[in-house]
Amino acid sequence: MAHLDTSEGFAVMAAGLRKRYASDPEALRGVDFAVRPGEIYGLLGPNGAGKSTALQILTTLLLPSAGSAQIFGEDVLAAQRAVRRIIGVVLQETGVDPLLTGWEALELQARLFGASRTAARRRVHELVELLSLQDFARRRIAGYSGGMRRRLDLALGLVHAPRVLFLDEPTTGLDPLSRRSLWDLVRRVRRESATTIFLTTQYLEEADSLCDRVAILQAGVLVAEDSPSGLKRRMRRDLIELEPQDPRLADRLLAIARQRQPEAMWDRQVVRLAVADGAAAAEDLLAAAREAGIRLSGLRVAPPSLDDVFLELTGAPGPDRLAGSGS
Amino acid sequence: MRVLQFVQELWLLTARSLKVAVREPWAVLPNVVISLFFLFVYDAGLGAIGQLHAFAGVPYLAFILPVALVSGSVGGAGAAGQALVRDLESRYFTKLRLTPVSRTALVMAPMVSGMIQLVAQTILILLVALWLGLKLPGGPLAAVAVVLLAAGWGLGFAGYAVAIALRSQSGRTAQAATFVFFPLLFLSDTFVPLALIRAGWLRIAAEVNPTTYVFDAMRALLAHGFETGPLLRGLAAILALAFLTLGLAVHAAQRSLREA
Ligand SMILES: Nc1ncnc2c1ncn2[C@@H]1O[C@H](COP(=O)(O)OP(=O)(O)OP(=O)(O)O)[C@@H](O)[C@H]1O
Ligand SMILES: [Mg+2]
């Protein structure tokens, strides 16, 4: 069949995925993916966008209402076992038996994937090393901190050296240091074993620093797909906030801002405006304010947040235009 | 090859269930204690009525022992459901679903582990009964048959417990569902033979209650040895329950494993 020939070349391939839970509005409304082997692919979206739903369908845990998906050509509906053999999955909420030790959980996992006892032990040794689990591998999981559990969960997902690793919000709830070390780990896994990685995240920063390509999911629809730099180029908006020392001068400060950007507004004690080039505009605004004798108590120039991306991609301009330009 | 692999998977999963059960003995121990309590207290308190004609020469210890065994086996079956609920709630079950092991092995492992616990517990209770003075005219084979009946009855309940656990995915519901065990255990010839039961409704309830036939089969084995009639009726009750509940469990497993 023709579509099989095309899906073979992709690590993850999905067409027209839809999912409706009970009577709720559809959680996925026709989503396509084509992830290349070796790629780190990010699915970015806010709470409830449908990220976990998509990931669970791709990993055989959930039946789609419509659509199809293949992992390296193996169909997630027709060849579930074959798919499970080649994917590793770390879900949003860790699932580990608190009464086992990390070591036991890893060894069992390896054996359930068909490894002999000796091969399983060797693999567990490797993973304990790779993820620095030495200090607590022999302790019961019940006593692990959230960060330790995440690391163990990642190890469990890697036990059988999967060709595609799925990570659902791998760093949500981690402190900044653990987050960075997890990013390093993901990169290292990709580098050392050419594993394809499909991850979901709510953080633009994470998608930016980790992913080769990012798709933005909003209310069950992919509204854009591009490299992080491509997305940012498309955004081309920095946010500037100016806080006058004397709130009574707000009107005059706003007037100055509006001369440069008519959509500038007064909001929560600051003048806020979005511009193409934040640094240059801030310099110009500062000079104008000084000239008008307005002292500032606060100034912030920020790259677009995820909120801004969503506003830009799904808000006022209308999703159709951007969905069209996204693919 | 396929079969060998299935057995291997089932064994790995069962061994893990047993390991965890041993680490959390408080889930099982009360059940053993309650069974032994039945044995001690009823035999001590009511033992003398065994002299009544209606008992037809069956010593009261042999009469009450099946009650202790059945209550123990139902508890052991509940443990299978509880083990599954634990895994569902900790989401470890989802992790297991992501492995290529057979779905059947996944659902059977807690049952098999529950049965192993149950057999150990039944043997323990039998040993205590022997120490209390139980005679076995049917010989050791009769005792083995009693253990197998208890295991079969427990398997029937394990199917029920597992079906409820899969359907409800909730520990509390699964726990609440084990309460059917009360009417089944007590609306029967639990303490005295049918002939001594006064209330007509209780006699009728006892006659439709399959537990009655399990009790009678065990009592016959303990007091006389192998007697075809009671043994066949007991086996029929067990097979009927096991078919029904294991069917339910398989159905629940197919549904929830595809949907959830
Ligand atoms: N089991 C379920 N039953 C009913 N509705 C569900 C179920 N799981 C998810 N939903 C609904 O589907 C939509 C998408 O949920 P999903 O969990 O896929 O979002 P998400 O992008 O992963 O969100 P988050 O960032 O919060 O994890 C939500 O509206 C959610 O309420
Ligand atoms: Mg999610």
pLDDT digits (tens, 9 = 90+) for A197-209: 999 998 888 888 8
Residue A317 per-residue DSSP state = T
Instruction: Give the DSSP per-residue string, A143-170.
Output: G--HHHHHHHHHHHHHTT--SEEEEEST
Residue A321 has pLDDT above 50, yes or no: no
Between A291 and A229, residue with greater pLDDT: A291
Look at B90 and A98 and tell me if their CB atoms are within 8 Å.
yes
Low-confidence stretches of chain B (pLDDT < 50) are: 260
Q: What is the pLDDT of residue A3?
A: 46
| pLDDT tens profile A252-304 | 999 999 998 888 888 888 898 888 888 888 899 999 999 989 999 989 888 76
A53 CB within 6 A, ligand 1: yes
- Whole-number average pLDDT of chain A: 86
Ligand 2 centroid distance, CA of B178 (Å)? 34
Rounded to the nearest 5 degrees, what angle is found at the Cα of B133, between the Cα atoms of B227 and B226?
10
Question: Which of A63, A81, A91 is closest, CB to CB, to B94?
Answer: A91
How far is it, in rounded angstroms, from Cα A205 to Cα B243? 56
A278 lines ligand 1 (CB under 6 A): no
Q: A68 in ligand 1 pocket by Cβ < 6 Å?
A: no
Whether residue A163 has its Cβ less than 6 Å from ligand 1 = no
List, in order, residues 6 or more apart from B50 with CB less than 8 Å away: B58, B59, B60, B61, B63
CA of A231 to the centre of ligand 1 (A): 25
Closest to A95 measured CA to CA, from B159, B81, B260: B260
Q: Which of B19, B94, B99 sits opposite A84 (nearest CB)?
A: B99
Interchain proximity B87–A97, CB inside 8 Å: yes
> Which is more confidently placed, A2 or A251?
A251
**Does any ligand 1 atom lie closer than 6 A to the CB of residue A45?**
yes
Nearest CA in chain A to B257: A61
A98/B93 CB distance under 8 A:
no
CB A196 near ligand 1, within 6 Å:
no
Per-domain boundaries in chain A: 12-227, 238-303
Pick A96's closest partner by Cβ from B16, B92, B99.
B92
Rounded to the nearest angstrom, the minimum Cα separation between A28 and chain B is 16
| Beta-carbon contacts of residue A14 (< 8 Å; ≥ 6 apart) | A31, A32, A33, A34, A54, A57, A58, A67, A68, A69, A70
Please write the tens of the pLDDT for every residue from A154-208.
999 999 999 999 999 998 888 888 899 899 999 999 998 899 999 999 888 888 8
The residue count of chain B comes to 260
CA distance B138 to A247: 99
From A101, which residue of chain B is nearest by alpha-carbon distance?
Answer: B20
Q: Please name the fold of domain A12-227.
A: Rossmann fold (3.40.50)
pLDDT of residue A53: 95
Mean pLDDT of A16-40: 92
Residue of minimum CA distance from atom 9 in ligand 1? A53
Task: Report how far Cα B242 is from the mean position of its chain's Cα atoms.
Answer: 11
SS3 A63: coil
Assign A326 a pLDDT band (cuts: 50, 70, 90). very low
* Closest-approach residue (CA) in chain A for B9: A112
- pLDDT value for A25: 84
Distance A154 CA to ligand 2 centre (A): 17
pLDDT band for position A325 (cuts 50, 70, 90): very low
Mean pLDDT of A81-96: 91
What's the average model confidence in pLDDT over A81-90?
A: 95
Interface check B89 vs A, CB under 8 A: no
For A205-251, the DSSP string reads: HHHHHH-SEEEEEETTEEEEEE-HHHHHHHH--EEEEEEESSGGGHH
Residue A102 confidence (pLDDT): 95
Residues 6+ apart with CB under 8 A from A159: A88, A106, A109, A110, A113, A123, A124, A127
Q: Please state at what angle helix B103-131 crosses helix B29-46, rounded to 10 degrees.
A: 30
Tell me what ipTM this predicted complex has: 0.84
Report whether residue A21 contacts ligand 1, using a CB cutoff of 6 Å.
yes
C-beta atoms of A109 and B99 within 8 A:
yes
At A9, the pLDDT band (50, 70, 90 cuts) reads confident
Confidence at residue A314, expressed as pLDDT on a 0 to 100 scale: 59
The DSSP code sequence of B203-244 is HHHHHH-HHHHHHHHHHHHHHTS--HHHHHHHHHHHHHHHHH
Instruction: Write down the residue that tokens 């064994």 correspond to.
Output: B11
Q: Do A84 and B98 touch (CB under 8 A)?
A: yes
Q: What confidence tens digit (pLDDT) does each residue in A93-105 have? A: 878 899 999 999 9
pLDDT band with cut points at 50, 70 and 90 for residue A1: very low
pLDDT of residue B1: 65
What are the angstrom distances between the C-alpha of B5 and each of A308, B9, B19, B93?
A: 53, 6, 21, 20
pLDDT value at residue A119: 96
The one-letter amino acid at A197:
I
3-state DSSP call for residue A14?
A: strand
Residue A230 pLDDT: 78
pLDDT at position A146: 84
Q: Quote the pTM value.
A: 0.81
Does the pLDDT at position A324 exceed 50?
no
| A57-61, A93-97, A211-215: least confidently modelled range | A93-97
Distances (CA, A) of A105 to A45, A147, A149, A192, B95: 32, 17, 12, 24, 11
Q: Which chain A residues touch B91 with a CB distance below 8 Å?
A: 91, 93-95
Please name which of B154, B24, B180, B4 lies closest in space to residue B87, comparing C-alpha atoms: B24
Query: Looking at the predicted structure, is the pLDDT value of residue A319 above 60?
Result: no
Whether the Cβ atoms of residue A28 and residue A17 lie closer than 8 Å to each other:
yes
> Largest alpha-carbon pair distance within chain A?
78
CA atoms B165, B166, B171, B172: torsion sign: negative
On the question of pLDDT at A316 being above 60, the answer is no
Query: Å from B3 to nearest chain A CA?
Result: 14
Q: Contact at 8 Å (CB) between A69 and A164?
A: no
Torsions phi, psi of A217, nearest 5? -110, 130
CA distances from B217 to B36, B234, B256 (A): 20, 5, 37
Alpha-carbon gap, residue A181 to A177, rounded angstroms: 6
Tokens found for residue A80: 């579930």
Quick one: CATH architecture of A238-303? 2-Layer Sandwich (3.30)
Contact indicator for B97, B175 with CB cutoff of 8 Å: no
Q: How far apart are CA A63 and CA A76, in angstroms?
A: 9
Ligand 1 atom with minimal separation from the A49 CA: 21
Q: For residue A27, is pLDDT > 90?
A: yes
Q: Where are the alpha helices (DSSP H) in chain A?
A: 2-8, 51-58, 80-86, 102-112, 117-130, 146-158, 176-193, 204-210, 228-235, 250-260, 278-291, 306-314, 319-326
Hey, do A12-227 and A238-303 end up sharing a CATH topology, with the first three levels equal? no
- Contacts of residue A137, defined as CB under 8 A and 6 or more positions apart, other chains included, come to A101, A102, A103, A106, A128
What is the residue type of A68? S
